[in-house]
Amino acid sequence: MGNLRNRAGLVIFVIGLAIVAFLLGDIIQSGTPFWAKKQNEVGSVNGEAIDYIAFNQQVDQMSMMYQQQMGGMETPQIRSFAMQQVWNQFISQNLINGEIKKIGLTVGKNEFNELITGPNPSPQILQNFTNPQTGQFDRNFLNQVINEAKGGKSEIGGQWEALLENIRSQRLTEKYSNLLKNSVYVTALEVQDEYTAKNKLANFKYLLLDYSSVKDSEIKLTDADYKAYYDKHKNSFKNTEETRSVDYVLFDASPSAQDTASTLATIQQLKTELTNSTNDSLFATVNSDTKYPVAYIRKGQVSPALDSVLFNVPTGTTVGPFLSNGAYEIAKVISSKFSPDSVKASHILLNIAAEGGADKAKAKADSIRGLILKGENFASLAVEFSQDQGSKASGGDLGTFPRGQMVAPFEEAAFGGKPGDVVVVNSQFGVHIIRIEKQVGNSKIVKAAIVDKVIVAGKETTDAAYAKANEFFTEATSSNFAEVAQQKGLTVNKATRIQAMDNTLNGQDAPRELFRWIYEAKKNAVTDKIFETDHHFIVAKLSDINPKGIQPLESIKNDIELGVRNMVKARMLKEKLNNALNGASSIDQAAQKIGKSAVSVENIVLANPVIPGVALESTVVGTVFGLQPNKPSKAIEGAQGVYAVQVDNFVNPKELVDSERINQQKQILTSKEQRAWGAIYKALQDNADIDDNRIRFY
């Protein structure tokens, strides 16, 4: 037994090694060590994480949707907005789902079936299974999709399951929202208080000693003053997320007058060549910076300058140059005609590669067209064959669209045919079977070859700006950044409260690469390179790091200086005003002591505490409604200065009758319900553990 006891430590050690070896072996086999599992996480909410691939796919989809809505290519602004929307949705979904799970909300089987196939189905079912021709809910189409999903068609089955999950999620959110809504109520006292605040009138006099009456040079701020102000307003200095501050110098590389003149000379030469061109489309493709498609356009699709002339000149005319959004434009009218203003259409899209080539895809499209012409259900065929995931769930319905929203071949087919036509057309996306449902309006359109030249900074301009930036960059260090800038006559800008996903410094566009540096650098570091935007070079210094939570006094000392200064002035002015009020039976007597006159105001209500011609003064007006008439107040610290007030009289409103009280209660309740959701969501967000790692990926 003693021998076994002596060996027990060794046995435990060996067992421990075996367990570690087992775990390490499992990790090595899986290929993902535990310390690296979070490397691809964009962020998490209360432990629920989202990885980069899934997040980025959603950003791509959101960005594409915004591009379709706004037209044109993806821009950094669109991409940034899409990313923020996806992030907000991720937070919202996880916060709400967490609450739903916590309180045990569910959707019962019968309840869920009613949302799908009941007499009053979910709005999502109605939206996806409404016949585009009749505008009526198509229950047969719904049943067909259900049967096909049950039949094991993987693509349809996956889309159907995604739709069901969205319906379930929406129903749970509605239940949660209704619970919150039903918890809000309004008491009779609240109704009376709000009615009084909006309708009881106060007529009073006030005496104001403005903060500006004390010169800044007359006061000296102490550390105790800063501390007193900070302690009083501490909750105002709370950061919901880490922010950073930088000092930076901008070096202007915008186009010069010489660059503008050079671009104008170029476009004028191109106008002569375009006028004499025999292949206008090729000329525009080769020479235009923007590469506008040579296609029919409607009024309002081009810049205002071009729009004002293109539709009023004969075919063959070349117009311009016009200056628009930093570019010179010219255009040649190739032809004109009248066309519908908008078209309602449906389509089925075939993927050429998936069908085995262009010929086979065209043959299949012709066969589908033949089925449609024989009376087959277009929506059913779209669900079965279309590769356009955005429209197939709604039977291929594309809605109503004007010119300029679809690719050129599709657009010409849709606008060039007539209602009821079913046509087959190729585009860069594949082969389309298009059914024209309806055409609206009839206006003149023109086909124009548009050529533009963007005014850009020439090499000489850019080199000069970069040379200045490089000279400063070479000399500047963390200790002499401001001094070197001053010596060279440069302005040091300050950007405070920078957040990780910002795209601008004080409204000026800046590259994301710079913001990643800001969040990787240590305090007082100077950028390790010169950053570049379209019109500037930037050299920066990280001046401060403001962690999440209540900021320390030293971090916000400069920001609160004005408030501290006014607090000290208020202390002096209150003493002066209280001395004048001491022994005075009226505010006029107090005013006379300090050589001022009291000002009379009338018809002030508590709900709108503005002193006419002065400022919003909630504390002052609130004091007024707590006073007895004809008795001067003590000194009151306000936003604009220090006040004393004296009520002349109050005018009470008429009593509320029952019908008015009920209406008032309904109005307050509606307002409360509208605010409740936002307030509760903010509370959930404030108390959540949100880890935002987007800066590592974007």
Q: What is the CATH number of the domain that holds 622?
A: 3.10.50
Does residue 389 sit in the same domain as residue 417?
Answer: yes
Give the residue carrying structure tokens 């300090």: 594
What is the mean pLDDT of the segment spanning 341-368? 89
What CA–CA distance (Å, rounded) separates 651 from 552? Answer: 48
Provide the 3-class DSSP secondary structure of residue 618: helix
What CA–CA distance (Å, rounded) separates 347 from 344? Answer: 11
Does residue 426 sit in the same domain as residue 499?
Answer: no
Q: Is residue 690 part of a domain?
A: no
Helices (H), 214-255: 223-232
Does residue 323 sit in the same domain as residue 354?
Answer: no
Q: Which domain holds residue 1?
A: 1-37
Does residue 130 sit in the same domain as residue 166?
Answer: yes
Q: Is residue 79 part of a domain?
A: no
Among the candidates 505, 532, 552, a domain finishes at: 552
Rama region for 52: left / alpha / beta (φ>0; ψ in -120 to 50; rest): alpha
Q: Is residue 604 part of a domain?
A: yes
Confidence check: pLDDT of 282 > 80:
yes
Band of the pLDDT at 153, cuts 50, 70, 90?
low
Q: Is residue 196 part of a domain?
A: no
Residue 38: alpha-carbon gap to chain centroid: 27
What is the mean pLDDT of the segment spanning 559-587? 95
Sequence-distant (6+) residues with CB within 8 A of 140 are none
Does residue 403 sit in the same domain as residue 431?
Answer: yes
Token pair for residue 686? 């404030």
Confidence check: pLDDT of 32 > 50:
no
Band of the pLDDT at 393, cuts 50, 70, 90?
confident
Structural domain count of the chain? 6
Confidence check: pLDDT of 3 > 50:
no
What CA–CA distance (Å, rounded) separates 137 from 154? Answer: 25
Element containing residue 48 per DSSP (H, E): strand 48-51
Q: Are 368 and 381 in contact (CB under 8 A)?
A: yes
Q: Are 616 and 630 in contact (CB under 8 A)?
A: no
Length of the chain: 698
Does residue 578 sit in the same domain as residue 645?
Answer: yes
Higher local confidence (pLDDT), 563 or 14: 563
Does residue 119 sit in the same domain as residue 147?
Answer: yes
Confidence check: pLDDT of 16 > 60:
no
Does residue 406 sit in the same domain as residue 393?
Answer: yes
pLDDT at 70: 62
What is the mean pLDDT of the segment spanning 242-269? 94
Does residue 435 sit in the same domain as residue 516?
Answer: no
Confidence check: pLDDT of 152 > 50:
yes
Confidence check: pLDDT of 97 > 50:
yes
Span 305-321, pLDDT tens digits? 999 999 999 999 999 99
Token pair for residue 547? 């962690």
Give the residue carrying structure tokens 């090729």: 282
Among the candidates 518, 552, 586, a domain finishes at: 552
Span 176-205, pLDDT tens digits? 988 888 889 999 999 999 999 999 999 999
Confidence check: pLDDT of 1 > 50:
no
Kindly report whether the peptide bond that precedes residue 121 is cis, defined as omega within 30 degrees of 0.
no
Which letter, b or e, does each residue of 290-308 get, where b requires 16 or more Cβ atoms within 10 Å of its Cβ?
eebebbbbbeebbbebbee
Q: Is residue 659 part of a domain?
A: no
pTM of the full predicted structure? 0.63
Among the candidates 376, 411, 440, a domain finishes at: 440
Does residue 217 sit in the same domain as residue 157?
Answer: no
pLDDT at 15: 39
Which letter, b or e, does each residue of 536-559 get, where b requires 16 or more Cβ atoms within 10 Å of its Cβ?
bbbbbbbbbbbeeeebebebbeee
Q: What is the mean pLDDT of the chain?
A: 87
Band of the pLDDT at 18, cuts 50, 70, 90?
very low
User: Kindly report the CA angle at 513 between 508 and 519, in degrees rounded to 5?
Assistant: 95
Span 63-94, pLDDT tens digits? 887 776 665 567 777 888 888 889 988 998 89
Confidence check: pLDDT of 405 > 90:
no
What CA–CA distance (Å, rounded) separates 203 from 186? Answer: 30
What is the mean pLDDT of the segment spanning 46-53? 90
What is the mean pLDDT of the segment spanning 517-521? 94
pLDDT at 154: 57
Band of the pLDDT at 296, cuts 50, 70, 90?
confident
Confidence check: pLDDT of 605 > 80:
yes
Q: Is residue 293 part of a domain?
A: yes
Does residue 323 sit in the same domain as residue 276?
Answer: yes
Q: Is residue 527 part of a domain?
A: yes
What is the mean pLDDT of the segment spanning 514-522? 94
Q: What is the domain-level CATH number for residue 371?
A: 3.10.50.40
Q: Is residue 268 part of a domain?
A: yes
Does residue 164 sit in the same domain as residue 246?
Answer: no
What is the mean pLDDT of the segment spanning 630-634? 95
